[in-house]
Amino acid sequence: MIIAYILNSYPQPSHSFIRREIQALERQGLTVLRLAMRPGSAPLVDPGDQAEAGKTHYVLLAGPWHLLVATLTQAARAPVAWLRALRRAIRLGRVSQVGVLRHLIYLVEACYVAQRCRAGGISHLHAHFGTNASTVALLVQALGGPGYSFTTHGPEEFDAPLALSLGEKVNRARFAVAISSFGKSQLSRWADFSAWERLHVVHCGIEPARFDAPASVPQGALRLAAIGRFVEQKGQMILLQSLGEVVKTHPQVHLSLIGDGEMRAELEAAITDLGLQNNVTLTGWLSEAGVRQALAESHALVMPSFAEGLPMVVMEAMAAARPVLATYIAGTPELVLPGQTGWLVPAGEVGVLARAITDLAETPQPRLDAMGQAGRARVLERHDSDREAAKLATLFAAASPKI
């Protein structure tokens, strides 16, 4: 079976779960054509991401001439379908936040993708995220190309379901996937009731072999890791403010902020203003091996986000047998169990987060080890990449037309 993955920018350091999913599907015997609109903007430090970039076909890098030819060829080949897709693109653009012109660009991309699908014998499209990648997939279907499915992650899709025409995308899809029960419930809010039976939960997966025999939590003063893009929704600023309270009684606490992004300068300024220069290290993006090493050197992961889907870094920390301190949002409570595998706190509360970090700092090492092992058992049971890919492969087989 040959399917195409439709992606906006790929690979990205924060989207390693897509790479793992594709590779797990290939181990299931599927052939996967990677079609991304553009390369990722962040530097690729992980060898796995670098290898994926070489396997990916970038639509916009084909150049204006090839895109124009694909559009004119599609219009001549199936004028009725092309006009139907044009009307749909205009209608979607009018309700969106990015406008009609952007959706006409999506239509051009869809014409090129449809051409590639015909040439490659593609029987099904799968998009990641309910944003522009799924719009392109929907327009390919309107052009007469293969049907599609898509995976929503959140929070972006759930922040603007009407502007993204999320309900229509679900209604027209062969099926739709959420990465948590919470995500499935959000899709149910916007989809027709008749489409609910085509909603499925397929978790993002980790590769258990990469977290074989994790070490016990280290001795000494509390070391925390926080991993993610430096953007408002990840809550790093709240974390720094909370840490400023914690160091008054636990001055040796250390935090590694792993990642990068548009808020880096603001975070650096906050570290200086709060006098945390000796307590916080900004590492930049790390390879997967580097992340595993950082987790091994930490007592726990802290995830102070305001909005999430179900963070991969939580799964990776639990697989590494590290407790997790996270906010009580979205799908996170489906994985982090307070008192058993970590701590859950309300989002945006500096004092509550500071008290939880203090509690973590004062928790004996044997207790942290026990919580870490409980979390490891839970994530390996629920988030094995091969097991989750097998679910997805079954859905692809059931949805694709029988030849």
Q: Provide the percentage of residues in the chain whose pLDDT is more than 90.
A: 89
Pick from 255, 254, 263: nearest CA to 234? 263
Give the C-alpha separation, 324 to 196, whole Å. 33
Q: Cα dist. 303→23, 42, 338, 372, 376 in Å?
A: 27, 21, 14, 15, 17
Containing domain of residue 283, as a range? 209-382
Q: Check pLDDT > 80 for residue 337.
A: yes
Report the chain's mean pLDDT, rounded to a whole number. 95
Query: For residue 326, which phi and psi values (nearest 5 degrees)?
Result: -135, 170
Residues 143 and 85 in one domain: yes
Q: Check pLDDT > 80 for residue 65.
A: yes
Residues 232 and 201 in one domain: no
Spatial contact of 23 and 32, defined as CB atoms under 8 Å apart: no
Tokens 């599927």 map to which residue?
30
pLDDT score recorded for residue 2 = 94
CB atoms within 10 A of CB 398: 10
Q: Check pLDDT > 90 for residue 149.
A: yes
376-397 pLDDT, tens per residue?
Answer: 999 999 999 999 999 999 999 9
Q: What's the whole-number mean pLDDT along residues 42-65? A: 92
Q: What's the whole-number mean pLDDT along residues 334-353? A: 96
* DSSP-based three-state secondary structure for 303: strand
Residues 122 and 20 in one domain: yes
pLDDT score recorded for residue 9 = 95
Residues 170 and 290 in one domain: no
Q: Containing H/E element for 130?
A: none
Q: Check pLDDT > 50 for residue 370.
A: yes
Residues 271 and 237 in one domain: yes
Residues 189 and 327 in one domain: no
Residues 197 and 220 in one domain: no
Q: How confident is the model at residue 403 (pLDDT cuts 50, 70, 90)?
A: very low
pTM (two decimals): 0.89
Q: Check pLDDT > 50 for residue 61.
A: yes
Residues 115 and 250 in one domain: no
Residues 224 and 342 in one domain: yes
87-131 pLDDT, tens per residue?
Answer: 999 999 999 999 999 999 999 999 999 999 999 999 999 999 999
CB atoms within 10 A of CB 61: 12
Residues 121 and 217 in one domain: no
Q: Check pLDDT > 90 for residue 211.
A: no
pLDDT score recorded for residue 289 = 87
* R_g (Cα) of the chain, nearest Å: 22
Residues 246 and 267 in one domain: yes
Return the CATH number at 292: 3.40.50.2000
Question: How many structural domains are present in the chain?
Answer: 2
Q: Check pLDDT > 70 for residue 11.
A: yes
pLDDT score recorded for residue 402 = 65
Q: How confident is the model at residue 42 (pLDDT cuts 50, 70, 90)?
A: confident
Residues 366 and 388 in one domain: no
Q: How confident is the model at residue 328 (pLDDT cuts 50, 70, 90)?
A: very high
Q: What's the whole-number mean pLDDT along residues 256-276? A: 96
